[in-house]
Amino acid sequence: MKPSAPLRIAHIDTGLTLRGGQRQLLLLARGLRVHGHEQRIVCPEASELCARARTEGFSVLALPQGDFRHLRGTWQLRRRVLQDNLIVLHAHDGAGQTISWLASLGTGVRRVASRRVTYLPRRRIDYRLKYKYTCHAVIAVSQFIGEILRSTGVPDEMINVIPDGIEIPEHLPDAAARLATRAKWGLIGREFVVGHLGNISPEKGQDIAVRASEILATQFPEAKLVLGGSVTADDLGRSTLAAAVSSGRIILAGYQENPFEFFSGLDLYIMPSRSEGLGSSALLAMAHGLPVIATKVGGLPEIVEEGKTGWLIAPESPKALANAIAAAAADPARLREMSIKARERAKQFSAQAMVERTEALYNRLIGFPADHRAAIAD
């Protein structure tokens, strides 16, 4: 079957903040737009994704505020499914999956659900029922999540492992960019700077990094930890973090609109996570030529290669993290070699690869050829 027009796709996400999942949705939508597909982004009216999607020129269906369980929004989407002849609904979170299912019951629409989180429901049968009957395919962002889905009884043929994608910078930060960023942080350039980028949450393990900085304060005082991302007043009020910031061991860099600038000031990147679906911020750091110290949790061992692109350590261990940081700083030649390998490894997770694999999944579900754009040209 050869399509007469590009695919008509709706992406659904109910998150209010712009975090990893929402950024991946935008990255996918940008790539699919380049390929000529018609898209609509369905998200809460008050969400950061809604504002960003509109700014970037995407067609948006805004879910109304104060709408109990998005019932009105679901009905509005159903009308769009029928009026616009949408052919694929891609849910990017759990609530979005429910909306997708209800909005397309009894239609020929193909439903795709992305799975990024690692937690399990209280009853595993809930997973099996949810994924087996509310969608036609599940995207797991790592082999680890794929195995979780299999363990709950989701049919293997429904599971598609498609890692999150990243934009690969054309070039690495130079010495001038490094000095400029460090000056912005109040550093003179001789420090060994370790960084982490992401909203503060228990899963990300920033508290472990703070405790590791305490250990390094005596044995390696040149080490500085830079935390990029939103920090709340409550975070600042925590005595351990407040003391570390006051002492100068930790720098709070705030929200980072330009990751290139952030990464340019670092020598090393850390992911002390307690759980992690994949770890796209680690991939982004690697694309900027930074070796990574990561915990052996979730999908992180799938991207960080021990001894090649970084180090894998036990979770919940500030001492292991501190020791790994000190070991990395002690061998600059090895760090430079790892930098090259980290960038090459990251290229395997490009946004282009993610877009093409997702597009191929859509086409398989609706019976189009592997390269339906070639079919259109024919």
Q: What are phi and psi of 223, to 5 degrees?
A: -75, 130
pTM exceeds cut of 0.85: yes
Domain architecture of the chain: domains with CATH = 8-165+350-377 (3.40.50.2000), 175-349 (3.40.50.2000)
Structure tokens at 228: 């990029």
Is residue 6 within 8 A of residue 186, CB to CB? The reply is no
Of 20-34, 46-60, 84-98, 358-372, least confident by mean pLDDT is 358-372
Angstrom CA distances, 109 to 90, 138, 232, stand at: 10, 15, 42
pLDDT in tens, 267-303: 999 999 999 999 999 999 999 999 999 999 999 999 9
pLDDT value of residue 2: 40
Q: What is the mean pLDDT of residues 208-236?
A: 87
At 122-162, the pLDDT tens digits run 776 777 788 888 999 999 999 999 999 998 889 999 999 99
Q: What pLDDT, on the 0 to 100 scale, is given for residue 378?
A: 34
Q: Per-residue confidence at 55, pLDDT binned at 50, 70, 90? A: very high
pLDDT tens digits along 301-341: 999 999 999 999 999 999 999 999 999 999 999 999 999 99
Mean pLDDT score of the chain: 92
Report the pLDDT averaged over residues 349-362.
97
Strand segments, DSSP code E, in 217-278 are 223-228, 250-254, 268-271
Question: What are the tokens at 18?
Answer: 């712009």
Give the pLDDT confidence of 76-96 residue by residue, as tens digits: 999 999 999 999 999 999 999
Residue 35 confidence (pLDDT): 96
Most confident stretch, 5-19, 248-262, 335-349: 335-349
What is the predicted pLDDT for the residue at 368?
66
Per-residue pLDDT tens digits for 93-109: 999 999 999 999 999 99
Between 143-151 and 124-134, two packed helices, what is the crossing angle to 10 degrees?
100
